[in-house]
Amino acid sequence: MIKGIWRHFILTLRLNFRSGRAIAYGYIMPILFLIGFGAVFRSGDPPLLHEIGQILTITILGSACLGMPTALVAEREKGVWRRYQLLPVPINALLSGVLLVRIILAFTAVGLQLGLAHWIYGTPLPSGLLTFGIAFAVVIFAFLGIGIILTSQAKDVPSVQALGQCVFLPMILIGGVGIPLYALPDWCRQLAAFMPGRYAVELLQSTYEDGSLQHFPAYPALILMVMGAAALIAGLRLIQWEQSRPERSRSILWITFAIASWAGAGLTSIFLDRSTPFHLIHSPSFLAIDEMAIDSITYDGLPDDHGIYTPLAPPLNPDQRMTHRMREFMPRLKNWDPGLKGDTGQRVRNLLAVAAIADITQDNSEAIIARQIYDFMRADFDPQELNHALAWVILSPHAGSVVSAAPELGLRGEAHPDIIRERSAWYARKYLGRVLRQIQDSQTERSGG
């Protein structure tokens, strides 16, 4: 039996490398996605570092939920698996060989992406190979179970591709895989908590943040293991090796069982306030900023407060007349999630991004928005922590994550993250200079420093 399983494994591996469709799904598409992300995010420092988790998740998701089901259904249409049932080898043992082949194909595709990203864009390799291997294994385990369910429900190759897109596209568009969560509205971030793609991105991205086993993010790994186990059990119960679909009532029962794990994950994350990935809201780097680093910051060359770039209104008079929109801005800001959740450094960076977005999109009230954000920071944060957080934004403009749109605050439009980081650093210098009394608050003249 062992010899038969081994020969089937080798045969499946050879057939995949002979198939143009398998090569396209397994290797051509990942390279195209890498180039697409590189064209958009290559200005980062280093390029693609903060997007690599998304790129790798797309590759694994495509291999497990599009490539594998398509290959299995194509073989089933030809009657291959019907004939396998006549062999003196358990059918599930042969299926395990197919899953192992898919793991190898996905792993080599991921390795190809990592190598090309490092060679073309200078993207660093994972900081811990062991933790990366564990993260990869957990992610593909979760997605392979979904692939088996799709195989069980598909009648033919076109239908399996349509079903695969029903899983693939939502995760890409609103699940935090194709579009970063920080660029999505709040309702999308909440909805993404119910999808495995968001946890896969967090888990894979963490291997670039800290590669030690001590800081391995157990929460997303546990969620993916639960989702994967539920999907695998449901898929094995439903899969048919004849050219027919399982009974409808039976399908509903087991698919509901699998979906229940997604619902449980989302509700748990929202209840535990984990709807935003840990690596996006937590970065202790601002704590490493010392007083000497703060003293080294200069305030020369800043744009004029009344100019085109980073305008800042003078202190607001309580009796000052403002539009209805600006009167509503501060109450909205006090309830804005990215400004309330996470550590002080990331919260400050998110708030500065709002001022930057208003500046870049040329909002009619950009100067007043910047002033209200400054007033909010002074009132809401501990002065010492605020100083260190503002200095962190100035000295580490590419650290953490940025918000590229804030429709919840009444701001229209979206800005490129790299421009937001630049303007955020300018506003941070203006704010810190006023806090430290290095800049007079009523005008742009320096009082020293």
Q: Give buried/exposed letters for 333-346 (b at 16+ CB in 10 A, else e).
A: beebbbbeebbbbb
Please check the confidence at residue 284 and state whether its pLDDT lies above 50. Answer: no
Q: What is the mean pLDDT of residues 1-29?
A: 83
Please check the confidence at residue 438 and state whether its pLDDT lies above 70. Answer: yes
In degrees rounded to 5, what are phi and psi of residue 48?
65, 5
| Each residue's pLDDT tens digit, 343-399 | 888 899 999 999 999 999 998 889 999 999 999 999 989 898 899 999 988 888 877
The Cα–Cα gap between 268 and 275 comes to: 9
Q: Cα angle at 359 between 356 and 360, to 5 degrees?
A: 85
What range defines the domain where residue 239 resides?
2-281
Encoding tokens for residue 326? 């600006």
Least confident of 106-115, 363-372, 399-408: 399-408
Least confident of 97-106, 247-256, 265-274: 265-274
User: In the chain, how long is the greatest CA-to-CA distance?
Assistant: 88
136 pLDDT tier (thresholds 50, 70, 90): very high
Query: Are the C-beta atoms of residues 260 and 171 closer than 8 Å to each other?
Result: no
Q: Tell me if residue 446 falls in helix, strand or coil.
A: strand
Q: What is the pLDDT of residue 231?
A: 94
279 pLDDT tier (thresholds 50, 70, 90): very low
Q: Are 37 and 154 in a shared domain?
A: yes
Residue 442 in domain: no
Q: Are 206 and 293 in a shared domain?
A: no
Q: What is the mean pLDDT of residues 187-193?
A: 84
Encoding tokens for residue 439? 């800049």
What residues pair up with 308 in beta bridges, in sequence order?
none
Residue 350 in domain: yes
Residue 259 in domain: yes
pTM score: 0.65
Query: Are the C-beta atoms of residues 50 and 397 closer than 8 Å to each other?
Result: no
Residue 444 in domain: no
Q: Give just the sign of the alpha carbon dihedral 339, 343, 349, 352.
A: positive
Task: Identify residue 134 by its one-letter amino acid code.
Answer: I
Average pLDDT value for the chain: 85
280 pLDDT tier (thresholds 50, 70, 90): very low
Instruction: Compute and round to an integer the Cα radius of gyration of the chain.
Output: 26
Q: Are 25 and 140 in a shared domain?
A: yes
Please check the confidence at residue 195 and state whether its pLDDT lies above 70. Answer: yes
Higher pLDDT, 82 or 230: 230
The Cα–Cα gap between 171 and 174 comes to: 6
Q: Are 175 and 120 in a shared domain?
A: yes
Query: Are the C-beta atoms of residues 395 and 293 closer than 8 Å to each other?
Result: yes
- How many domains are there within the chain? 2
Residue 445 in domain: no
Residue 365 in domain: yes
With tokens 């449901």, the residue in question is: 234
What residues pair up with 446 in beta bridges, in sequence order?
439
The Cα–Cα gap between 226 and 71 comes to: 26
The Cα–Cα gap between 232 and 96 comes to: 12
Query: Which of 227, 259, 281 is a domain's end point?
Result: 281
Q: Are 134 and 218 in a shared domain?
A: yes
Q: Tell me if residue 133 falls in helix, strand or coil.
A: helix
Query: Which of 232, 258, 281 is a domain's end point?
Result: 281
Please check the confidence at residue 142 and state whether its pLDDT lies above 70. Answer: yes
Q: Are 97 and 116 in a shared domain?
A: yes
Query: Which of 281, 315, 346 is a domain's end point?
Result: 281
| Each residue's pLDDT tens digit, 413-436 | 888 888 898 899 999 999 999 999
Least confident of 88-92, 94-98, 386-390, 437-441: 88-92
Alpha carbon 203 to chain centroid, angstroms? 10
Q: What is the pLDDT of residue 244?
A: 66
Residue 448 in domain: no
The Cα–Cα gap between 334 and 125 comes to: 39
Q: What is the mean pLDDT of residues 255-270?
A: 91
Q: What is the mean pLDDT of residues 177-183?
A: 74
Please check the confidence at residue 266 and state whether its pLDDT lies above 50. Answer: yes
Q: Are 292 and 220 in a shared domain?
A: no
What is the percent of the chain with per-residue pLDDT over 70, rounded to a whole number?
Answer: 91
211 pLDDT tier (thresholds 50, 70, 90): low
Q: Which residues contact 64 (CB under 8 A, 6 or more apart)?
A: 102, 106, 140, 143, 144, 146, 147
Distances in Å between the Cα of 233 and the Cα atoms of 258, 262, 327, 418 are 8, 14, 54, 44
Q: Are 152 and 173 in a shared domain?
A: yes
275 pLDDT tier (thresholds 50, 70, 90): low
With tokens 């770039």, the residue in question is: 309
Residue 407 in domain: yes
Q: Are 247 and 289 in a shared domain?
A: no
Q: Tell me if residue 421 falls in helix, strand or coil.
A: helix
Q: What is the pLDDT of residue 210?
A: 64
Encoding tokens for residue 108? 């080599």
The Cα–Cα gap between 46 and 27 comes to: 24
Query: Are the C-beta atoms of residues 150 and 164 closer than 8 Å to each other?
Result: yes
Q: Are 32 and 145 in a shared domain?
A: yes
Q: Are 317 and 236 in a shared domain?
A: no
Task: Identify residue 327 by its one-letter amino acid code.
Answer: R
In degrees rounded to 5, what are phi and psi of residue 143?
-80, -30
318 pLDDT tier (thresholds 50, 70, 90): confident
Q: Tell me if residue 70 falls in helix, strand or coil.
A: helix
The Cα–Cα gap between 127 and 16 comes to: 31
Q: What is the pLDDT of residue 183?
A: 62
The Cα–Cα gap between 221 and 177 comes to: 16
Q: Are 151 and 171 in a shared domain?
A: yes
Q: What is the pLDDT of residue 223?
A: 94
